[in-house]
Amino acid sequence: MLDFGPVQFYIARHFGFCYGVENAIEISYKAMEENPDKKVYLLSQMIHNQEVNRDLVSRGIQFIMDTDGTQFVPWKDLKPEDIVIVPAFGTTIEIEKILTSIGIEIQKYNTTCPFVERVWKRSEKLGQSGHTIIIHGKHNHEETRATFSHSNENAPTLIIRDIVEAKELCKMISGERSTNDFYTLFEGRYSEGFEPSTDLKKVGVVNQTTMLATETQEIADCIKQTIVAVYGEDHYKDHFADTRDTLCYATNDNQDATYELLKLEADLAIIVGGYNSSNTSHIVELCERKFPSYFINSDKEIISSSEIHHYKYEAKEMVNTKDFIPKKKPVKIVLTSGASCPDTLVDKVLLKMLSYFDATKTLEEALMPFES
């Protein structure tokens, strides 16, 4: 807790940039430095943070496509000598093949996060042992599209979004619901040729790395219990692979730190991050369980001491809230950020909020208790 007198900030123990994002940004700037005379492209957003992406564009990088796959630069415009950076989410095998066929060297500036690759390796292993892969993820997210593509090479694959869908799938596994509904329910999210009557007999679950850990566990438990009920305690291991550890460390650390914040009494929470960032959205979801929560992508969304412009993740819209700072002393504010948010943005938010209070301690005074 940073105590400034009339306002106190509770900062999460873990927040902000993760290894994968730092690594991706470092490689992107290196690619530009090393290739001043070449065209440098990013396959899609480097990370889900507009500030970082805008900075990269201002330095001359061009995006080939947007987050949902809409193409800005046609493949035919790319030349073998161009530089293409693969983002931290990784990419699909189909896109890898297109780039390779053009003659572009994709491994040189491939920033695919090792924690994403770990999921691909896990699904490869599961595929080799005859499992169907169930991916718990958001099917239109770049990382899940890439994971689906890699998994699909090795095994029948299906993407489910949440526990509600997992329960419906379980009804099909147990025979409680007809598999005829499978193709409507999971439209656009299963491998070509997926046959629910045979492909749901031996399954393994992997995740998009940034999902909500508790939901991931709930889904694995739900499928496991169904398999145990169908095949019996002695045989369920022949039909189910428990692989719930495919969330990445940053997701786990940031969510654990948020659970600690939920034990506190505070007046509001501010969560900083990109609006299409999966891991940030889950931190918001947790904070909303206890505090009035404001999801903003920069300090600029704090209009004044009486107005904040913020994103409602579920409704996918920006809204204005007036009088978001309660009139009391001290005001207690939870402050955290997602894995794709630079720490400087969190600093700016803290300083802007601080400027709305009179007679506050200086930053040095507030930090004094932490000096050794």
52 binds ligand SF4 (CB under 6 A): no
Which phi and psi (to 5°) does residue 229 adopt? -65, -35
User: What is the closest distance, in whole angstroms, from the C-beta atom of residue 23 to ligand SF4 in the complex?
Assistant: 8
Answer for which of 132, 149, 209, 281 binds ligand SF4 (CB under 6 A) is 209
CA pair distance 291, 281, nearest whole angstrom: 15
Dihedral over alpha carbons 262, 266, 267, 273 (to 10 degrees): -50
Strand 307-312, strand 203-207: pairing: unpaired
- Which residues, in sequence order, are bridge partners of residue 272? 296, 337
The DSSP string of 312-329 is: ETTTTEEEEEES-S-SSS
Cβ distance to ligand SF4 smaller for residue 16 or 204 = 16
18 binds ligand SF4 (CB under 6 A): yes
Answer for which of 2, 7, 12, 21 binds ligand SF4 (CB under 6 A) is 21
Beta carbons of 336 and 269 less than 8 angstroms apart: yes
Please identify every residue annotated as catalytic.
143
User: What is the closest distance, in whole angstroms, from the C-beta atom of residue 279 to ligand SF4 in the complex?
Assistant: 5
Beta carbons of 191 and 158 less than 8 angstroms apart: yes
Helix/strand/coil for 136: strand
Answer for which of 250, 268, 325, 341 binds ligand SF4 (CB under 6 A) is 250
CA pair distance 277, 250, nearest whole angstrom: 13
Site string for ligand SF4, 292-311 (x = CB under 6 A): --------------------
Contacts of 365 by beta carbon, 8 Å cutoff, 6+ apart: none
Beta carbons of 50 and 56 less than 8 angstroms apart: no
120 binds ligand SF4 (CB under 6 A): no
User: What is the closest distance, in whole angstroms, from the C-beta atom of residue 287 to ligand SF4 in the complex?
Assistant: 18
Answer for which of 5, 6, 11, 19 binds ligand SF4 (CB under 6 A) is 19
Looking at the chain, how many residues does it have?
372
Cβ distance to ligand SF4 smaller for residue 226 or 277 = 277
Answer for which of 116, 261, 283, 354 binds ligand SF4 (CB under 6 A) is 116
Burial class (CB in 10 A: 0-12, 13-18, 19+), 102: middle
CA pair distance 75, 236, nearest whole angstrom: 47
- DSSP letter for 261, please: H
Neighbours of 134 (CB within 10 A): 27
Answer for which of 28, 49, 210, 255 binds ligand SF4 (CB under 6 A) is 210
Q: Mark the segment that binds ligand SF4 (CB under 6 A) among 110-118, 225-233, 294-302, 360-368.
A: 110-118
User: What is the closest distance, in whole angstroms, from the C-beta atom of residue 142 to ligand SF4 in the complex?
Assistant: 11
Answer for which of 78, 220, 248, 261 binds ligand SF4 (CB under 6 A) is 248
Q: Which amino acid is at 57?
A: V
Name the token pair of 130: 């005859």
Cβ distance to ligand SF4 smaller for residue 88 or 271 = 88
Cβ distance to ligand SF4 smaller for residue 8 or 336 = 336
Site string for ligand SF4, 265-294 (x = CB under 6 A): --------------x---------------
339 binds ligand SF4 (CB under 6 A): yes
Cβ distance to ligand SF4 smaller for residue 21 or 241 = 21
User: What is the closest distance, in whole angstroms, from the C-beta atom of residue 249 to ligand SF4 in the complex?
Assistant: 7
User: What is the closest distance, in whole angstroms, from the C-beta atom of residue 113 to ligand SF4 in the complex?
Assistant: 3
Beta carbons of 283 and 254 less than 8 angstroms apart: yes
User: What is the closest distance, in whole angstroms, from the C-beta atom of residue 159 to ligand SF4 in the complex?
Assistant: 17
Edge to edge, the sheet with strand 7-11 lists 2-3, 7-11, 331-337, 268-272, 293-296
By rule CB under 6 A, what count of residues binds ligand SF4? 15
Residue ranges binding ligand SF4 (CB under 6 A):
18-21, 88, 113, 115-116, 209-210, 248, 250-251, 279, 339
